Amino acid sequence: MPTLEPKNQVNSVGKAFAVIKAFDTTLPELTISEIAVRAGLDRGTTFRLIHTLESLGYVHAVPDSKRFRLGLKCLELGYAALSSRQELADHAEPLLRATVPAIADAASLGTLDKGEVVYLRRVQAGLGRHNMQRGPGTRIGAYASALGHAMLAWLPAEQKVAALEGTPRIKLSEHTLIDLDALLARLDEVRARGYALSDGENAYGLRTLAAAVLSADGLPLAGISLTIDAGRMTMADFVAHAAPRVQEIAKVLTDATRLSGGAIRAGRPPGAAGT
């Protein structure tokens, strides 16, 4: 995620959120010492922050113990975000914008519809010479794109095959894989690595990295991709530069959908069957 200049940061705010994030479903009740360790703070700072948060209603003391737990007031923070934005694309857009043009020339959110990738959101500030416009509703074969591979990799085996066989597989460049066994082997690699990559396989002169956004049951809900003009940097440099970011964005959105209890949804792909 974007890093603020030190002069623009309020350290006490960051520390307060570190205290809140010290609690989780496996450790809902913690002592001040335990919170300090998990938040990476000294005990005195933690003591003051806990009692400030308690006075505001975000933390409660557990009766007859030295432990604390989060208060229901914390739900207000999540509800404010969910009530105004329930589409995954709305949550993804600021994350995509933060990568363009600093990390990539284009950043996209897409979902699977049978054997195709359907673009849900696209932020672009380059690639003009490629005439590459992929706005919401644009469809491409999942077999031939990093975005498609990132999502296909997390499908059960029979669904992978069905998706790959559900659309014609045409060589878009000499690098495009169309053999079913080769594609299935590639998808195994993608899942093990955590992200997919394409170096001119979908379109000449483009390099793309992509990672899946997963639902609570571990199935692909959507995918995030970052794309550059091949002249901008080598594939190895792009992987080093952008792979951590694309995985981070995918994880943030995966965590958000899980924590929302299904309130955040990918939305029905434009032009999907039945619409």
Residue closest to 220 by CA, chosen among 153, 160, 163, 158: 153
Share of the chain above pLDDT 70, in %: 88
Kindly list the domain boundaries of the chain, sorted by start residue. Answer: 6-77, 85-259
Mean pLDDT rounded to a whole number for the chain: 87
Quick one: 85-259 is in which CATH superfamily?
A: GAF domain (3.30.450.40)
Query: pLDDT: is 1 or 137 the higher one?
Result: 137
pLDDT mean over 207-228: 95
- Residue identified by tokens 């207000």 is 76
Please tell me what DSSP assigns to residue 66.
Answer: S
* pLDDT band at 262; cut points 50, 70, 90: confident
Q: What are the pLDDT digits (tens) for 218-239?
A: 999 999 999 999 889 999 999 9
Tally the C-alpha atoms within 13 A of residue 32's C-alpha that lie toward its C-beta: 16
Q: What are the pLDDT digits (tens) for 87-100?
A: 888 889 999 999 99
Cis peptide, bond prior to residue 101, ω within 30 of zero: yes
Q: For 6-77, CATH number?
A: 1.10.10.10
H-helix or E-strand containing 61? strand 59-61
pLDDT given at position 204 = 83
pLDDT mean over 204-211: 93
pLDDT mean over 132-148: 87
Please tell me what DSSP assigns to residue 5.
Answer: P
pTM across the whole model: 0.73
* pLDDT band at 205; cut points 50, 70, 90: confident
Res. 274: pLDDT tops 50: no
Res. 181: pLDDT tops 90: yes
